[in-house]
Structure 1
């Protein structure tokens, strides 16, 4: 069963209305960790928030309005403001569970979450890494898991086809370790104990998706100079 609908944030950049600030208006379905991701992108792109209104309406939509500058308190250039808006839309993609009341499994890309596979805990399988030779990805994963309040009960990591113990063979037949990297399997306990709720699963997948295809730690976003050099490639 798939994850359901993925929602992209609507970002409006206004570089005309205020003489001192670039104004950002962001609309997105409210999601655990939404403000953290917003702050992460802004900080990584050297943008400072001077004023802000962050609200969530009765329908569960977050509406944020921010007055920002660069780290030197200068209004953003038009090119930088446009790139910032595009970057926010790239990162602020929220995949949420479908509305099926009895859904017990979710798949989003290389992330598979199941409340059926184990009688006591939630099973999470992550196939592949952003870069197969990137050091520190296990730390990234552990940080992502603990950031939403879940605890790891068991884990298996398979880094190649030849395993020293049969229990380590969790990858699908024919899986390409050289190209894709390791496979991780976790049994997790939810914040309240027992299996994770659908809301916690949505938060977990939202957080793990930030790690997919990114070559930096999840608290550091690419800087503005690198983004401007990449141009449209950043939107792929």
Structure 2
């Protein structure tokens, strides 16, 4: 397994899937996304696993896409860039398809793809000091591949408040928006996560899995058509002059031309 993630399992059948790139703020590199997708698919097949906790090492939950990975995409041809940028969609799809309930343990800031990871959890407990944001438009990009899952969690009305503006918001607003189930002091985070996990230990695992599948079906699960549309939208945006300017400005540590 890649050293960018790790999986711990306890004797009850609770698996914790850790983002383990703390030195890079758990930014999603190509290697990390490949490992996350593989881990999600393995957990889905593990009949001993009854609950999954998605957690992260270090002070940051996930800073979004890895900068080196984003920079590398600029030199790719359109087809390669499209395939590469679809990695996060594959990760989110695999996590969303887990038959087990997944509890998010968000101990620190989550931006871009980090918000996407939180959005595919069934319940998300966050530290009350964290910040979140869909920051892609500051770079001339759009929150595309994470978009179907973010909107499925928040609903269109609430998504309108933060989807386009790249505005940073705190834990209290994240609860109101539906991204967090609740926010607690950092020292209470583990206890709050355990309070969500424990009830499942009295439930029939097969019934839980079927209930989750029914919930997805009745609630309007994210479709392949939506995912494909989002991938195409981001691929097109990467070809724009704004994306080129936004990425250049970021790496040159200056304001982009549109900033006032």
TM-score, normalising length: structure 2: 0.26
Q: Which has the higher contact order (CA 8 A, sep 6+)?
A: 1
Bigger Rg, which one = 1
Give the structure with the larger helix fraction: 2
TM-score by length of 1: 0.27
